[in-house]
């Protein structure tokens, strides 16, 4: 069992990378520079996370109702990714660093997207240069049982089709809720 106090690490070692790979979901937090701006916190899943190395991770960014993470990263780069053990021993791991957005159609997107299952609605890959790795106890996190992945997002994308997804990005993902630039013109 972990000590109740937080621990920090110099890097993501193989043991931690293995633990991260077994987690079914993670959370992404970003914020704009403006004091009145909205902090964003989003849950993610669907096997879209990968450890690239001791100080670098990435995840496949899927179409959503907003574009906060992309807009915040383009403005200031700050990001925290949190994993929380819902099964097994309690543990919370936070990866803090500077993020980068590689949109669909770029060389870096193509290089990284092959690490993940295909999703019609993928719009970018978010990569993070990890500056701080920390864990804490997670003693207050409830035990939850994994039942399976939801297929709603992929089913939504399939029903819409590639052209309608691009239209959706143009309607819903051009700016953040605080008016920061989001996605440029993309195609599927």
Domain map (residue ranges) of the chain: 7-172
In the chain, DSSP assigns E strands to 7-9, 26-30, 40-44, 49-53, 56-62, 78-84, 92-103, 122-136
C-alpha triplet 182, 30, 140: angle, nearest 5°: 145
What integer pLDDT is reported at residue 11 of this predicted model?
A: 97
Tell which wins on pLDDT, 42 or 1.
Answer: 42
Domain over 7-172 is classified CATH 2.30.110.10: yes
High-pLDDT (> 90) share of the chain, %: 93
Q: How many CB atoms lie within 10 A of CB 129?
A: 15
> Percentage helix, strand, coil, to 5, in the chain?
25, 30, 45
The 10 Å Cβ neighbour count of residue 75 is 18
Question: pTM for the complete prediction?
Answer: 0.93
Q: Looking at residues 136-161, what average pLDDT do you find? A: 94
pLDDT digits (tens, 9 = 90+) for 160-182: 999 999 999 999 999 999 999 99
pLDDT grade, residue 1 (50/70/90)?
A: very low
Q: Do you know the residue count of the chain?
A: 188
């Amino acid at each position: 069992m972990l000590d109740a106090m937080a621990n920090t690490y110099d890097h993501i070692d193989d043991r931690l990378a293995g633990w991260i790979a077994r987690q079914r979901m993670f959370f992404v937090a970003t914020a704009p520079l403006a004091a009145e701006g909205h902090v964003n916190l989003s849950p993610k899943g669907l096997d879209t996370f990968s450890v690239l190395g001791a100080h670098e991770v990435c995840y496949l960014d899927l179409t959503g109702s907003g574009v906060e993470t992309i807009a915040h990263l383009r403005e200031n780069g700050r990001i925290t990714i949190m994993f929380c053990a819902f099964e097994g021993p309690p543990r919370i791991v936070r990866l803090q660093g500077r993020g980068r957005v590689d949109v669909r159609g770029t060389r870096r997107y193509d290089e990284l997207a092959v690490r993940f299952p295909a999703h019609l609605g993928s719009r970018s890959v978010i990569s993070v240069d990890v500056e701080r790795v920390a864990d804490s106890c997670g003693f207050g996190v409830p035990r939850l049982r994994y039942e399976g992945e939801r297929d709603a997002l992929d089913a939504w994308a399939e029903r819409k089709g590639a052209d309608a997804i691009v239209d959706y990005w143009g309607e819903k993902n051009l700016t953040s809720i605080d008016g920061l630039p989001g996605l440029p013109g993309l195609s599927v």
